[in-house]
Amino acid sequence: MPEATICLPTYNERENLEKMLRALAPHGVHVLVIDDNSPDGTGQIADDLARELDFVSVLHRDKKEGLGPAYLAGFRRALADGADYVLEMDCDFSHDPADVPRLIAACEEGADLALGSRYVPGGGTRNWGLLRRAISWGGSFYARLLLGVRVRDLTGGFKCFRRAVLEALDLDAIGSKGYAFQIEMTYRAMCKGFRVQEVPITFADRTEGTSKMSKTIFLEAVVKVPLLRMTVR
Ligand SMILES: Nc1nc2c(ncn2[C@@H]2O[C@H](COP(=O)(O)OP(=O)(O)OP(=O)(O)O)[C@@H](O)[C@H]2O)c(=O)[nH]1
Ligand SMILES: [Mg+2]
């Protein structure tokens, strides 16, 4: 059986973490919680759950630096622990735990990187206002246009990497912190010739906890996309 590790970054997700880990339990995956010293005590909850659930481990980091650095630390740990597939997923139920097997299956059937996608037939968003939908769709459109790639959902954070992809990328060179991180990872994988496949998903707005989306994260992506096009080959 190939090993799959879900990297699950958390920052103030105390309302969601336990429910999420229990929802992932039936899927036969390993889960690595990456907590950036959440002030709400999510890290402690994660430790308690890891003692009870043998498929869970926890990576504690000192401070919040954004999604990018948290994921990179998680990827390094997952690779060192021998994962064949490494997944990214939010801990706020925007990504449905029931979709995890479909992402892994896409890689088992030949994709190097499977992307949970809102913008292919069968995909979509639930409970998102017009503004959020417009920003998200517009962001993917902007990135697709400037980067010249055919992927329709470039900013999503529900994905499955084949181990070889993460081994081939120079993780030290990846500087993005927020949404740009998602765009950068996918673009760099495509530049190396890896096969990317979009898997339709429905993305639901979080009902518990608060969003960490910010103007800085948005602006980083706007600036980073043309830079990626100019510097990454
Ligand atoms: N470790 C860590 N996790 C983070 C950080 N920022 C966000 N996260 C987690 O990453 C996931 C996605 O963050 P969200 O706050 O939902 O942001 P988002 O999904 O981009 O925005 P929304 O759609 O508005 O929720 C959640 O599980 C967060 O707890 C961070 O700096 N460090
Ligand atoms: Mg979210």
Which pLDDT value is given to residue 213?
Answer: 85
Q: Which ligand 1 atom is the nearest neighbour of the CA of 210? A: 15
pTM of structure: 0.97
Measured by CA distance, the residue closest to atom 31 of ligand 1 is: 66
Q: What residues does the ion ligand 2 have nearby, CB within 5 Å? A: 90, 92, 94
Alpha carbons 77 and 7: distance in angstroms, whole number: 10
Say yes or no: CB of residue 184 within 6 Å of ligand 1: no
Alpha carbon of 61 to ligand 1 centroid (Å): 15
Determine whether the shortest distance from the Cβ of 66 to ligand 1 is under 6 A.
yes
Question: Is the CB of residue 71 less than 8 Å from the CB of residue 126?
Answer: no
Helix, strand, coil percent content, the chain, rounded in steps of 5: 45, 20, 35
In whole angstroms, give the CA distance from residue 175 to residue 202. 29
Point out the ligand nearest to the CA of residue 91.
1
Query: What pLDDT is attached to residue 142?
Result: 96
Whether 102 is in the pocket of ligand 1, judged by its Cβ within 6 Å, is no
The finding on whether 206 has its CB within 6 A of some atom of ligand 1 is: yes
pLDDT at 222: 95
Closest CA to 68 of 23, 118, 135, 11: 11
Residue numbers in the chain where pLDDT is lower than 50: none
Q: Copy the structure tokens of residue 223.
A: 């600036």
Q: Which ligand is nearest to the CA of 218?
A: 1
Q: How many angstroms is it from 213 CA to the middle of ligand 2?
A: 8
pLDDT at 2: 77
Comparing CA positions, the residue from 108, 230, 121, 211 lying closest to residue 157 is 211
CA 163 distance to own-chain centroid: 15
Longest Cα separation, the chain: 48
pLDDT in tens, 136-149: 999 999 999 999 99
CA of 212 to the centre of ligand 1 (A): 5
Kindly give the number of the ligand 1 atom that is closest to the alpha carbon of 217. Answer: 20
Residue with the nearest Cα to atom 25 of ligand 1?
A: 211
Ligand 1: does its nearest atom lie under 6 Å from the Cβ of 94?
Answer: yes
Name which residue sits closest to atom 28 of ligand 1, judged by CA. Answer: 10
Please state, in angstroms and rounded to a whole number, the distance separating the CA atoms of residues 130 and 76: 37
Give the pLDDT confidence score for residue 230 in this predicted structure: 96
- Whose CA is closest to atom 11 on ligand 1? 90
